[in-house]
Amino acid sequence: MSTDNRSFKKLRISLTDTCNMACTYCVPDGDAGGIRAQLKPRLEVSEMIDLLAKLHKELGLKKVRITGGEPLLFPGIVKLVAEIKHLGIDDIAITTNAFYLSNLAPRLKEAGLKSINVSLDALDTEVFKAITRKDMLQQCLLGIDEAIKQGIKLKINSVIIKGVNENQILPLIAFGIQKQVKVRFLELMKMGYLHNNYLQHFVSQNEIIEIIKGAYVIEKQLRVPSATANYWKLEEEDYAFGIIANESEPFCKDCDRLRLDSYGKIYGCISATKGIDIKGKHDLKPLLTEAIQQKQRFKFIGNQMSMQFIGG
């Protein structure tokens, strides 16, 4: 499916909008992430697979990333991974906060999961609590260890928030070196309830780089086409960290991602506010054309919807 030389090759599914954490930049209060959102997924595994099979037939998907909300809360998560593998899609990834990973990593691996992005914004218990509103750090660290033990490829993603966790940047790099996992720092995106006042919490790519330069000599690497992150190599270590700089260095121009939410709606862009319903539709072609027209050419323009719904 291609318009304006754009095409969808990667799919992100937001399996559920429920989360067991309530990160301050994602939801306005401690309850909004979890209890008020429904635990029951909108689509059953079979419906989800049906939609996926149709999308794969149209698009020849190269990669599926499962996210949310917290995707490991979805009761059929292991089955879903196995079914995606059966569709012939090998590159299956999950984005998770890792809380349930110590339990689920072996079964996810067996089902065919290839890689995991763990969202971890702090290694200090109090900073972690201040951001997530939950005392869950130790369990998340156990989850990370289990996934590494299972041989699942793992990366850490950390959103940096002004005055909150800049002091976690260097510990996170040290953690990445110690565990031999890539750490990527994320610029805060103008989404959800922070849409109009995100700048007061925003830390730029340059500010992150300056902090790292205080401890390491670094060299920027060439960007891989359609990649979200820029990477820098540390001179004194065989290690590279990344920055996903939505604002400072937008990567819209070659983005090939399509999103599917837990209600069966697709979004051609993370800036799109209107989902396109594909549930029960036989011909997806015109709907995918509509979705590709939602793509931004140059820059993320923001979204009033929280990442919890559209899938981070």
Binding site for ligand SAM (CB under 6 A): 19, 25-26, 67-68, 70, 95-97, 119, 157, 159, 186, 188-189, 191, 307-308, 312
For residue 60, CA distances in Å to 11, 43, 48, 88 come to 10, 22, 17, 10
Q: Which is nearer to ligand SAM, 109 or 190 (CB)?
A: 190
Which residue stretches of 112-225 are H helix?
A: 125-132, 137-149, 169-179, 205-213
CB of 272 vs ligand SAM, minimal distance in Å = 16
Q: How far apart are CA 201 and CA 198, in angstroms?
A: 6
Question: Which residue's CB is nearer to ligand SAM, number 68 or number 268?
Answer: 68
Please identify, using beta-carbon distances, which residue of 59 and 159 lies nearer to ligand SAM: 159
User: CA–CA separation, 5 vs 293, rounded Å?
Assistant: 11
Quote the least distance from Cβ 92 to ligand SAM, whole Å.
Answer: 15
Sheet of 182-186: strand order equals 218-220, 230-234, 239-244, 182-186, 153-159, 115-119, 91-96, 63-67, 10-14, 257-260, 265-267, 276-277
* Cβ nearer to ligand SAM, comparing 16 with 150: 16
Shortest distance, CB of residue 263 to ligand SAM, whole angstroms?
16
At its nearest, how many Å lie between ligand SAM and the CB of residue 311? 7
Give the Cα separation of 13 and 258 in Å (integer). Answer: 9
Token output for 267: 């979004």
When the beta carbons of 68 and 176 are compared against ligand SAM, the nearer one is 68
CB of 191 to ligand SAM, least distance (A): 4
Contact 288, 259 (CB under 8 A): no
Nearer to ligand SAM, 157 or 292 (CB): 157
Q: How far is CA 26 from CA 33, 176, 243, 247, in A?
A: 8, 24, 19, 17
DSSP 38: -
Q: How far is the CB of 283 from ligand SAM (least distance, A)?
A: 31
* N residues, the chain: 312
Q: Shortest distance, CB of residue 281 to ligand SAM, whole angstroms?
A: 26
Residue whose C-beta lies closest to ligand SAM: 312
Give the C-alpha separation, 77 to 39, whole Å. 13
Q: Which of 74/231 has CB closer to ligand SAM?
A: 74
Greatest Cα pair distance in the chain: 56
Q: Which is nearer to ligand SAM, 97 or 230 (CB)?
A: 97
| Shortest distance, position 81 Cβ to ligand SAM, whole Å | 15
